[in-house]
């Protein structure tokens, strides 16, 4: 997995069209639909903290985990923008395949197709097991994925680009149908203090998973599968779905499960 080292500097600029507020509204509807009133939430693969920050501003207590130190530096700056009665987000620099917490939480979110970055099914099973381990009994795991349809027919072997006042990027996309692996090669041009531009390049990989494979791995990890929905709806997936949301519930952990020791930050 790439750590988005260079992209972190301009991530929020190039992701300004992402409907974070719409996602927040949708997540709250999922909580209501599945009868969850979370207090402590983990934003797994939180990036620059756009979801963590918004939820913290709404009064939720947030943890954020991400592999990239650079992305977390951007995220931590948002804590200064929180209202004085909101608790700052606690950010942890960890790999989602190996993350460790000090107790259980009410809900885990993993959004913006971060699950697709786990390209080995065994690694994804490990992520699911860790999430299940740290969830309170009956807690929810909510995540989204890019679909195989999107990789194959929308992104495909296309190229993209965008420019802003002080940065630009190019994106060359390649999809390997035999392995269900989507590769995108990016070049970033970022203005420096002298007015010239520094060039950075990164290569990222995402894997396409079927609904059945996700359900199989969730079951192996001890989850109860609750639902899968088409993007920002409560409709079932269809053949042209580009993004899917999954909802799974922790099941089977007794009262003597992982002890809850977050009371000191509540």
Over residues 5-37, the pLDDT tens digits come to 555 666 656 666 778 999 999 999 999 999 999
63 touches 40 (CB < 8 A):
yes
Find the range with the poorest average confidence among 8-12, 107-111, 176-180, 200-204.
Answer: 8-12
Burial of 17 (0-12, 13-18, 19+ CB in 10 A): exposed
Cα(150)–Cα(83) distance, integer angstroms: 38
Per-residue confidence (pLDDT) for residue 5, from 0 to 100: 53
Higher local confidence (pLDDT), 107 or 252: 107
Higher local confidence (pLDDT), 191 or 88: 88
Cα(162)–Cα(169) distance, integer angstroms: 6
All structural domains of the chain, each given as residue ranges with its CATH number in brackets, are: 7-146+209-265 (3.40.50.150), 150-206 (2.20.25.110)
Find the range with the poorest average confidence among 31-40, 105-114, 196-205.
Answer: 196-205
pLDDT at 93 > cutoff 90:
yes
pLDDT at 131 > cutoff 90:
yes
Per-residue confidence (pLDDT) for residue 161, from 0 to 100: 87
222 touches 252 (CB < 8 A):
yes
With b for 16 or more beta-carbon neighbours within 10 A and e for fewer, the 243-253 pattern comes to bbbbbbbbeeb
Q: What percent of the chain has pLDDT over 90?
A: 74
Per-residue confidence (pLDDT) for residue 261, from 0 to 100: 33
Per-residue confidence (pLDDT) for residue 265, from 0 to 100: 36
Find the range with the poorest average confidence among 46-50, 175-179, 197-201, 252-256.
Answer: 252-256
Residue with tokens 């990239």: 68
pLDDT at 255 > cutoff 50:
no
Helices and strands, number each (H, E), in the chain: 7, 11
Q: Which residues, including other chains, have CB under 8 Å from residue 75's CB and lie 6 or more apart?
A: 46, 47, 48, 49, 52, 53, 64, 66, 89, 91
The three-class DSSP label of residue 266 is coil
Per-residue confidence (pLDDT) for residue 9, from 0 to 100: 63
Per-residue confidence (pLDDT) for residue 257, from 0 to 100: 47
Here the tokens at position 75 are 């995220």
Per-residue confidence (pLDDT) for residue 169, from 0 to 100: 83
Residue with tokens 């072997």: 157
């Amino acid at each position: 997995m790439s750590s988005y080292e260079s992209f972190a500097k301009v991530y929020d600029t190039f992701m300004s069209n992402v409907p974070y507020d719409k996602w927040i509204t949708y997540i709250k509807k999922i909580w209501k639909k599945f009868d969850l009133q979370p207090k402590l939430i983990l934003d797994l693969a939180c990036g620059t903290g756009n979801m963590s920050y918004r939820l913290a501003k709404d009064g939720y207590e947030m943890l954020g985990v991400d592999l990239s130190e650079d992305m977390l530096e951007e995220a931590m700056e948002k804590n200064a923008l929180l209202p004085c009665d909101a608790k700052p987000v606690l950010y942890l620099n960890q790999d989602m395949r190996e993350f460790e917490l000090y107790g259980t939480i009410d809900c885990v979110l993993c959004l913006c197709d971060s699950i697709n970055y786990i390209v080995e099914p065994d690694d994804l099973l490990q992520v699911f097991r860790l999430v299940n381990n740290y969830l309170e009994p009956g807690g929810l795991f909510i995540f989204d994925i890019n679909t195989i349809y999107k990789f194959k027919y929308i992104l495909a072997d296309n190229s993209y680009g965008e420019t802003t006042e002080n940065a630009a990027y190019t994106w060359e996309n390649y999809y390997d149908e035999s392995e269900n692996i989507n590769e995108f090669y990016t070049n970033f041009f970022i203005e420096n203090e002298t007015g010239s531009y520094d060039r950075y390049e990164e290569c990222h990989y995402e894997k396409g998973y079927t609904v059945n494979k996700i359900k199989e791995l969730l079951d192996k990890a001890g989850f109860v599968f609750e639902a899968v929905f088409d993007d920002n709806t409560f409709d079932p997936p269809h053949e042209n779905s580009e993004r899917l949301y999954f909802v799974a519930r922790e099941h089977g952990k007794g009262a003597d499960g992982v002890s809850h020791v977050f009371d000191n930050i509540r």
